[in-house]
């Protein structure tokens, strides 16, 4: 509505600067602190930002936080590597072959609808309660959204490009490099952003499976002893890590898709 008024008046609104994305989080942080200081938000419900910052510093100073962070990052890294590899292989099979689609797509669609909490008991029976179960859960959560976006991107490649590649007598590698890869890359990067977001969500689930280290382990212990400040520190850690990975993928997206007319999202 505001934009329409400005356009009707012949005025243009400049694009927001990069720092504008920090305005709303900082405003929420200030409101949170004010509500805590005035008593509108009791300490028994949630601590103030300053108290949570002190709790985070105590965890960092004792080394407990850094040790847990390394463990959680290792789990996510392994899960992402295996999940991306699985999604790319299956996505190429289903996206480039009708027979591959008929064979691969139904199980992947089934996996998309199965809640991760539902498979935890089976994974514990099959793989035990160690790191393997946690990594497989993360890999499964990563693979599904990337697979769906990759196959959709491959199927949306203009058929005329295939005719051009046949006319130019391109080899299979040349078709993959000059036609399939550039055509599927935008959709694949969107899928990767979704997959990384899911990876941090699944990590929370995975670290409830008999974890003895990691951010989830700290959060679970804090829940047992009603330490709300530590719980918030853990949740903020997940959120910050999710934003950081999404930011890195967006940078890669801008670089990889710099040949497009519009900026990457």
| Superfamily for the 48-256 domain | MetI-like (1.10.3720.10)
- Reported confidence tier of residue 265, pLDDT bands at 50, 70, 90: very low
Phi and psi dihedrals of 258, rounded to 5? -70, -15
Nearest in space to 84 (alpha carbons), one of 166, 149, 177, 9: 149
Q: Please give the pLDDT value at position 264.
A: 44
Residue 33 makes CB contacts below 8 A (sequence gap 6+) with 48, 49, 50
pLDDT tens string 78-101: 988 999 999 888 888 887 778 877
CA 203/CA 257 separation, integer angstroms: 30
pLDDT digits (tens, 9 = 90+) for 113-135: 887 777 887 888 888 777 788 88
What pTM was estimated for this model as a whole? 0.75
Whether the Cβ atoms of residue 203 and residue 238 lie closer than 8 Å to each other? yes
Q: What are phi and psi of 147, to 5 degrees?
A: -60, -45
Give domain limits for the chain: 48-256
Tell me how far CA of residue 86 lies from CA of 16, 33, 142, 228, in angstroms.
38, 45, 9, 38
Q: What is the pLDDT of residue 85?
A: 92
Cβ atoms within 10 Å of 241's Cβ, excluding its own: 19
Residue 189's alpha-carbon distances to 86, 164, 264, in angstroms, are 15, 25, 10
**Paired tokens of 189:** 């990067």
Q: Is 169 left (phi over 0), alpha (psi -120 to 50) or beta?
A: left
What's the whole-number average pLDDT of the chain?
78
Tokens representing residue 83 in the block: 């999940």
pLDDT surpasses 80 at 60: yes
174 in Cβ contact with 140 (< 8 Å): no
Tokens for 147? 């697979």
Instruction: Name the band, by pLDDT with cuts 50, 70 and 90, for residue 32.
Output: confident
């Amino acid at each position: 509505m505001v934009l329409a008024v400005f356009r009707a008046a012949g005025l243009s609104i400049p694009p927001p600067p990069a720092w504008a994305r920090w305005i709303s989080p900082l405003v929420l942080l200030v409101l949170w602190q004010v509500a805590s200081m005035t008593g509108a938000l009791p300490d028994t419900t949630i601590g103030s930002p300053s108290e949570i910052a002190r709790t985070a510093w105590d965890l960092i100073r004792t080394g407990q936080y850094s040790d847990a962070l390394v463990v959680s990052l290792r789990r996510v890294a392994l899960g992402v590597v295996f999940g991306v590899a699985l999604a790319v292989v299956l996505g190429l099979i289903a996206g480039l072959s009708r027979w591959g689609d008929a064979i691969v797509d139904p199980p992947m669609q089934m996996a998309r609808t199965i809640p991760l909490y539902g498979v935890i008991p089976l994974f514990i029976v099959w793989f035990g309660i160690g790191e393997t179960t946690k990594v497989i859960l993360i890999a499964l959560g990563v693979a599904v959204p990337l697979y769906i976006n990759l196959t959709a991107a491959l199927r949306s490649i203009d058929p005329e490009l295939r005719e051009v590649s046949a006319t130019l007598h391109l080899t299979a590698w040349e078709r993959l490099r000059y036609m399939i890869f550039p055509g599927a890359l935008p959709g694949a990067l969107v899928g990767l952003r979704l997959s990384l977001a899911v990876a941090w969500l699944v990590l929370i689930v995975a670290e409830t499976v008999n974890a003895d280290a990691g951010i989830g382990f700290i959060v679970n212990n804090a829940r047992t002893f009603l330490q709300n400040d530590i719980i918030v520190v853990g949740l903020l850690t997940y959120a910050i890590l999710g934003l950081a990975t999404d930011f890195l993928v967006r940078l890669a997206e801008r670089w990889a898709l710099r040949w497009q007319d519009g900026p990457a999202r």
